[in-house]
Amino acid sequence: MIYIWTCAALAGIAAALIAIRSFRPAPLPAPAPWTGPLPEASPPADMTIYRLPTGTYENRAFLAYRGGAFSDLRKFAATAVLVRHPAGDLLIDAGFGANVEAHIAALPSYRRTPHELGDTVRDQLRAKNYDMARLKGVVITHAHWDHVSGLEELDVPIWMNQAEGRYVERAKDAAVFRDVASRRDIHHYMFDGPPYLGFPSSHDVYRDGSVVIVEAGGHTDGSVVVFVNPPDGRRFAFIGDLTWQTEGVTLRAERPKMLQLLADVRPAQVRDGLLRIIALADRIHVLPAHDVRAYDPIPEWTSSSNIGG
Ligand SMILES: [Zn+2]
């Protein structure tokens, strides 16, 4: 009997040591930087992008990326991005909606953290007399609660691919999506375009290279990266949750193993996507969805001089 207890205790200690080690820094090997040309883009001169922050929730850096400090309390952004394009506007993700408290209450207790709520996307658009008829839909980077809560108030189609369509049918982490999307049309787009910046296939939304969605997968079945190329020549990559904070790219720091197991359907595929993004990071501004700092170069919708339209 004592032998069994000793074995159980040793196994427990070994598991704890392995868990602790998985939070230590372990940078991914640096990929070769992308040296080829960036894909052609001919965005219309009046295309613009704005950020619509809807709130934040707290997480510690040590849970966000390997090597992050326990004492480093981060505010995770829940921010939507509005792409204004003469052929019709798009949102990328929807942020927190009016019922986000209920969405948070439905999470397992260990995932509920202190949060701050701002105005919803709908309220921010209304405040500037935005013409909702201009909005073609909401492209979701993936179907987790903190990206889709605000879909509830946005009566426009949800743009998603077939792999994400399969994910939302079965995944526990898509419960909020199933709730808020039940009264929405789904626009299923296909990855009908060529490889794009190292990703295997793409979908060029406006056929002008200004907004190109690529298949990343791994975080959810159909998680995506959205490349946005406005007419001022800047290039942006909205990478969803390939990493939760910019250090995932700058330090090549993955999520700690335990968080990978909780958050990602296929961690190895997330790693592949992250390495592709790291290879581009000198040439393209990378926006992890939850890094408040990464949105700085994008003007805020409510403080812009742009009125409705
Ligand atoms: Zn997220």
pLDDT tens-digit map of 113-127 = 999 999 999 999 999
- State in Å: Cα 261 to ligand 1 middle: 15
- The pLDDT assigned to 21 comes to 74
What is the mean predicted confidence (pLDDT) over 130-147? 98
Average pLDDT value for residue range 68-95: 98
Distance 260 CA to ligand 1 centre (A): 13
CA 154 to ligand 1 center in whole angstroms? 19
All domains of the chain, ordered by start, with CATH? 2-28+44-295 (3.60.15.10)
- Work out the mean pLDDT of the chain and round it to a whole number: 94
Amino acid, single-letter form, for residue 85: H
Q: What is the 3-state secondary structure (H, E, C) of the chain?
A: CHHHHHHHHHHHHHHHHHHHHCCCCCCCCCCCCCCCCCCCCCCCCCCEEEEEEEEEEEEEHHHHCCCCCCCCEEEEEEEEEEEECCCCEEEECCCCCCCHHHHHHCCCHHHCCCEEECCCHHHHHHHCCCCHHHEEEEECCCCCHHHHHHHHHCCCCEEECHHHHHHHHHCHHHHHHHHHCCCCCEEECCCCECCECCECCEEECCCCCCEEEEECCCCCCCCEEEEECCCCCCCEEECCCCCCCCHHHHCCCCCCHHHHHHHCCCHHHHHHHHHHHHHHCCCCEEECCCEHHHHCCCCECCCCCCCCC
| Mean pLDDT calculated for residue range 187-198 | 98
Distance in Å, CA 93 to ligand 1 centroid: 10
pLDDT > 70 in the chain, percent:
92
Cα–ligand 1 centroid distance for 242 (angstroms): 9
Question: What is the Å distance from ligand 1's center to 77 Cα?
Answer: 9
Q: Using the predicted structure, report yes or no on whether residue 308 has a pLDDT greater than 60.
A: no
Percent of the chain exceeding pLDDT 90 equals: 88
Q: Ligand 1 centroid vs 241 CA: distance in angstroms?
A: 6
Distance in Å, CA 147 to ligand 1 centroid: 6
